Amino acid sequence: DAGITQSPRHKVTETGTPVTLRCHQTENHRYMYWYRQDPGHGLRLIHYSYGVKDTDKGEVSDGYSVSRSKTEDFLLTLESATSSQTSVYFCAISEVQGVRSGNTIYFGEGSWLTVV
Amino acid sequence: AQSVAQPEDQVNVAEGNPLTVKCTYSVSGNPYLFWYVQYPNRGLQFLLKYITGDNLVKGSYGFEAEFNKSQTSFHLKKPSALVSDSALYFCAVRVEGGATNKLIFGTGTLLAVQP
């Protein structure tokens, strides 16, 4: 298993509260990602990082922010949680291995978030 | 825009029979294609990938996938299904040379193998 730890693994929170999910990696990989998984949508990219303090938006970034102050940590913050953000959140990592290597992405075990 | 389609929400197969999980893609450029498997309440596990070369790619747990450029497909196959193969399977694509190193995922296919 790739050295990826997500915390918390399960959380229930109230609408309007801020929530932060943490992803910690021990692989020293350059790229880190946050995806959300919802039935009928597969996995959708929220934000990603291509280095310390270098982040960019994915396809479903509204309502989310991220920070990466160290190579090993990538934080996802829901600024004011809504019921539509109830989902399973996956952190993933990838290294740049060369143009023709494919740069496989490896996933963490997921964080189940329920917004009530 | 890049996209991946998995036309079947669920595939049912009897144990011991061959299985196929379908995937088609749309990209502008040479694709990098991936298959992942997800067991209940777990993260995604990498199965195999196609980058270049031989169109038949072999991966973990006896799975293989065939890249067909003319049909823009990358179907996942296994000669003899096991009950333990029952899981959710995702196909994903990235364009060669893409600066952002991102994967685009299909919606997933649930594989159910009956004993």
The closest alpha carbon to A2, from B86, B76, B38, B45, belongs to B45
Query: Does B41 sit within 8 Å of A50, measured CB to CB?
Result: no
| Vertex B39: Cα angle to B33 and B41 (nearest 5) | 120
Q: Put the strands of the sheet holding A73-78 in their side by side order.
A: A4-7, A19-25, A73-78, A64-70
Please tell me which residue of chain B has the smallest CA distance to A89: B43
Query: Does A90 sit within 8 Å of B44, measured CB to CB?
Result: yes
Q: Which residues contact B97 (CB under 8 A, 6 or more apart)?
A: A99, B29, B30
CB < 8 Å from B in window 71-110 of A: 90, 92, 94, 96, 99-110
Closest Cα in chain A, distance from residue B2 (Å): 12
Give, for all 116 residues of chain A, the pLDDT tens digit: 569 999 999 999 999 999 999 999 999 999 899 999 998 888 999 999 988 999 999 889 999 999 999 999 999 999 999 999 999 999 999 887 555 556 788 999 999 999 99
The string of pLDDT tens digits covering residues B67-103 is 999 999 999 999 999 999 999 999 999 865 555 567 8
Compare CB distances from A108 to B41, B43, B52 and report the shortest one's residue: B43
